[in-house]
């Protein structure tokens, strides 16, 4: 294979650190020459219950484009993206042009691209100050508003919502298949999955989870007779939900509809996350309540588990009430944030060589 020409090799070396749901990295790159490439993106909606209509993958794709643009600025190159119109939404292709621009300033978020990582463990409860919140609002730009859930009562309400949401997540047979495939066991790092040590649970719980998750029959048995989901939910949802500075939701001023809307939202999400990193703040996305509530709003069946729709409807109603103005349809990203140590276990990425497709 031909070596990747500079400066694209350097730009992709940074861009590949963009976050994606379950570290799926749903993109491959085709280099045309030193100023042009094609991004071959894809989503996982055909097998991943969380990738509803491919929207989470599209948000990740937006994060990739933003990261690529930031990395290009270090070379005095302005990145221009054009979605190739006849490529299907499940496999959208983007034509990328890197245009020399001697006036382009270096994007100040560049140093945080490789440092940014998800923190799923408890954080400190020290509230964010006004200037941190302002910086985060500025980061998402004028088409999005950051709505904060702060203080003991609201953190408790969100923690409880996540705890109840996790019971649904951990008892759905369809979600089991996803969890089984994306966790790398006995690992601190993983190039294309989520290492178990980054899940935020202690060693004993991990051991038990590893053993139980070897088969759906075990999962079902433990959940049914021994409340097997209880300890993981406490460690992965309730405690982290309580121990953070705040939960937040990014609201698009106009409810997203098209792939371009979700990609644009992903660009804002990545600026938000990188800005949080620049402020030494830790962050964890909490996307699944948004996804389940959308299944319910659109009256789409998502599981063979009896009662799943009713449970999701209840969670969705609680989320709507928390948002007060019933803006769930405008919510593009939900998460928690706070001060604290950054994760000691994290997902890595496929190498540029692996991500450059032979097309």
Ligand X SMILES: Cc1cc2nc3c(=O)[nH]c(=O)nc-3n(C[C@H](O)[C@H](O)[C@H](O)COP(=O)(O)O)c2cc1C
Give the Cα separation of 30 and 43 in Å (integer). 17
Q: Which is nearer to ligand X, 98 or 282 (CB)?
A: 282
The mark string for 328-347 relative to ligand X (x by CB under 6 A, - otherwise) is ------------------xx
Q: In angstroms, give the least distance from the CB of 2 to ligand X.
A: 28
Which residue's Cβ has the minimum distance to ligand X? 19
Residue 60 makes CB contacts below 8 A (sequence gap 6+) with 18, 19, 20, 21, 24, 26, 266
Q: In angstroms, give the least distance from the CB of 1 to ligand X.
A: 26
In the chain, the DSSP E strands lie at: 27-33, 36-41, 77-83, 93-100, 144-150, 183-184, 189-190, 194-195, 246-252, 281-285, 331-339, 346-347
User: Can you tell me which of 41, 60, 159, 201 binds ligand X, judged by CB under 6 A?
Assistant: 60
Is the CB of residue 103 less than 8 Å from the CB of residue 234? Answer: no
The span of 17-25, 30-38, 304-312, 315-323 binding ligand X (CB under 6 A) equals 17-25
- The total number of residues shown for the chain amounts to 359
User: Can you tell me which of 120, 147, 247, 294 binds ligand X, judged by CB under 6 A?
Assistant: 120
Give the Cα separation of 158 and 284 in Å (integer). 13
Give the Cα separation of 126 and 243 in Å (integer). 9
Q: Which is nearer to ligand X, 7 or 55 (CB)?
A: 55
Q: Which is nearer to ligand X, 101 or 202 (CB)?
A: 202
Q: Which is nearer to ligand X, 7 or 81 (CB)?
A: 81
The mark string for 261-290 relative to ligand X (x by CB under 6 A, - otherwise) is -----------------------xxxxx--
The span of 31-39, 66-74, 115-123, 220-228 binding ligand X (CB under 6 A) equals 115-123
Q: Which is nearer to ligand X, 87 or 342 (CB)?
A: 342
Give the Cα separation of 54 and 247 in Å (integer). 24
User: Can you tell me which of 118, 123, 139, 175 binds ligand X, judged by CB under 6 A?
Assistant: 118
The CA distances from residue 203 to 109, 115, 351, in Å, are: 35, 25, 29
Q: Does residue 162 belong to the site contacting ligand X (CB under 6 A)? A: no
The torsion angles phi and psi of 214, rounded to 5 degrees, stand at -65, -25
The mark string for 190-209 relative to ligand X (x by CB under 6 A, - otherwise) is ----x---------------
Give the Cα separation of 295 and 304 in Å (integer). 14
The site for ligand X (CB under 6 A) is made up of: 19-23, 56, 59-60, 63, 117-118, 120, 194, 284-288, 346-347
């Amino acid at each position: 294979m031909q070596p990747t020409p500079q400066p694209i090799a350097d730009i992709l070396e940074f861009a590949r650190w963009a976050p994606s749901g379950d570290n799926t990295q749903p993109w491959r790159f085709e280099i045309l020459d030193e100023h042009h490439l094609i991004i071959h993106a894809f989503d996982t909606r055909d097998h991943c219950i969380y990738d509803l209509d491919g929207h989470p993958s599209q948000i990740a794709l937006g994060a990739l484009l933003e990261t690529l643009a930031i990395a290009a600025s270090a070379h005095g190159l302005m990145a221009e993206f054009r979605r190739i119109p006849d490529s299907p939404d499940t496999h959208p292709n983007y034509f990328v042009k890197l245009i020399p621009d001697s006036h382009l300033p270096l994007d100040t978020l560049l140093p945080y691209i490789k440092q940014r990582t998800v923190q799923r463990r408890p954080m400190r409860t020290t509230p964010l100050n006004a200037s941190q919140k302002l910086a985060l609002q500025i980061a998402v730009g004028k088409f999005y508003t950051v709505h904060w859930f702060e203080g003991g009562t609201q953190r408790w309400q969100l923690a409880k919502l996540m705890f109840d949401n996790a019971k649904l997540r951990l008892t759905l047979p369809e979600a089991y298949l996803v969890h089984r495939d994306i966790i790398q066991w006995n690992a601190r790092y993983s190039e294309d999955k989520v290492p178990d040590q980054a899940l935020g649970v202690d060693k004993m719980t991990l051991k038990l989870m590893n053993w139980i998750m070897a088969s759906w029959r075990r999962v079902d048995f433990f959940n049914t007779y021994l409340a097997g989901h209880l300890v993981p939910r406490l460690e992965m949802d309730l405690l982290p939900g309580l121990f953070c500075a705040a939960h937040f939701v990014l609201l698009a001023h106009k409810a997203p509809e098209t792939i371009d809307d979700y990609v644009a939202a992903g660009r804002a999400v990545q600026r938000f996350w990188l800005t949080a990193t620049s402020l030494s703040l830790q962050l964890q996305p909490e996307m699944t309540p948004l996804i389940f509530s959308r299944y319910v709003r659109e009256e789409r069946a998502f599981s063979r588990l009896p009662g799943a729709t009713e449970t999701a409807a209840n969670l969705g109603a609680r989320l709507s009430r928390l948002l007060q103005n019933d803006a769930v349809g405008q919510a593009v990203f939900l998460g928690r944030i706070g001060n604290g140590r950054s994760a000691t276990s994290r997902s890595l990425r496929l190498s540029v060589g692996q991500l450059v497709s032979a097309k």
